[in-house]
Structure 1
Amino acid sequence: MVMGVDSLAAFLTHPVTATVLLMVGIIGIALELLFFSSGLLALAGVAGFALYFLGFYLAGFTGFGDLAVFGLGLVLLILELVVPSFGILSVLGAICLFGGVIMASSDPSEAMVMLGVALLVAIVVLAFTIKRFQHRGVWNRFILREQLTESKGFTSQPDYSYLVGRTGEAITPLRPAGTAMIQGERVDVVTDGSFIPAGQAVAVTHVEGVRVVVKEATTENYG
């Protein structure tokens, strides 16, 4: 049993194995932050880091302080998922994660080399993944990808300028705002301050944006 533990520790702390575990940890957590995979990628990332720490713990090099620093990093990254901080919590979390990784190793210099290799590979994998699945990235939540143009049926506001000079009938009392039927169209209108009863003929004097101003129409200009 003792030999089994020693063999497991030797395998997990081997530079190649440890580097692969760090790759899995970094890539898994980074992809989770970028694509929100319902926790599956984060679980894989945490498993990679957990096996890394398990190896050095079994070898007698990892203490509570190392795990605490790493754990703080995980908490900060989880907080980033819940309360977006525009990357601040992610950066602090990454610093704690990497700090814990280096502190847990029997040789900090070797750990930095392994971490550097893992980061380089992770950057390549992340770059490829982002390019391949860019339409699913978290950044799409903050970017309006579709242009709202008139050719696609979007308008910033209705244009009522064509109603200037047209006449119609107030279908509600204008006090001074109300509704009028102009050229067969129900339009929200407003007077210049005067009261116009329902059923009275009105004429559009001018339009200010979506504000259609009317006045009581005279007999000669109505129709």
Structure 2
Amino acid sequence: MELQLLFLGVVLLLVEGFIPGFGIFGISGILCLLGALYFFLGATAQAAALVGGVLLGLAVLGFWLIRRGPKSWLGRQVTLHLRSTAAQGYTGNADRKDLVGKTGVAQTVLRPSGRALIDGELVDVITEGEFYEPGTAIRVVAATGGRTVVRKEENL
């Protein structure tokens, strides 16, 4: 019985390692290993107390790893603590605030996104939800987070 539980526990831990999920395989594997230890020690009250102590120790270790682990010396060695922030010059997409207020012409169907020719430059744009045909006169109303928002221009 101990060997089957030991084997099953190892297999479940390997499955957890290769197919990460919610920890069901890993927790089941640990419980199987603890069960194997219990039966290996003779399935007595003393064995149950030892396995319970090991389980309690694992729970305390897990709690410590979650709360303090990343701030410990070992945690700092194995975690990435570099940040790619806008303050350091990193951006996902270029903000085109220079286009706000400018007019152009839709080059593709805007449903609601597409391309428009603004100041002789093809720009990826998005409408506020409307669909526009190619050739529709548009005006840039906002440019935030890499999104250039346009609206149909009535005066062109």
Q: Is the pair's TM-score, using the shorter chain for normalization, greater than 0.5? A: yes
**Residue of structure 2 in register with 1:134 after alignment:** 75
Asked if 2 retains the 8 angstrom alpha-carbon contact of 1:189 and 1:212, the reply is yes
CA deviations 1:33-72 (Å, max 9, x no partner) are xxxxxxxxxxxxxxxxxxxxxxxxxxxxxxxx21111211
User: TM-score, normalized by length of structure 2?
Assistant: 0.57
Task: Write the mapping of 1:1-223 to structure 2, written as runs, cut at 5 A.
Answer: 65-106=1-42, 108-116=44-52, 127=64, 130=69, 131-135=72-76, 136=78, 149-152=85-88, 153-154=90-91, 158=95, 160=97, 163-164=100-101, 166-167=102-103, 174-177=107-110, 178-182=115-119, 186-188=122-124, 193=132, 195-196=134-135, 204=139, 206-207=141-142, 210-213=148-151, 215=153
**Greater Rg, structure 1 or structure 2?**
1
The separation in 1 between residues aligned to 2:61 and 2:108, in whole angstroms, is 66
- C-alpha distance 214-122 of structure 1, shift in aligned 2 (>3 A): closer
The separation in 1 between residues aligned to 2:142 and 2:58, in whole angstroms, is 60
- C-alpha distance 78-216 of structure 1, shift in aligned 2 (>3 A): same
**Residue of structure 2 in register with 1:33 after alignment:** none
User: TM-score, normalized by length of structure 1?
Assistant: 0.43
Percent identity, please: 22
Could you tell me how far 1:115 is from its partner in structure 2?
3.8
Q: Which of the two has greater helix per residue?
A: 1
2:3 match: secondary structure? helix
- C-alpha distance 154-211 of structure 1, shift in aligned 2 (>3 A): same
Asked if 1 retains the 8 angstrom alpha-carbon contact of 2:140 and 2:148, the reply is no
2:28 match: secondary structure? helix
The separation in 2 between residues aligned to 1:74 and 1:190, in whole angstroms, is 53
Could you tell me how far 1:158 is from its partner in structure 2?
3.3
Unmatched 5+ stretches in structure 1: 1-64, 219-223
Aligned residues: 139
The one-letter code of the counterpart of 1:196 is G
What RMSD, in angstroms, separates the aligned Cα atoms of the two structures?
4.4
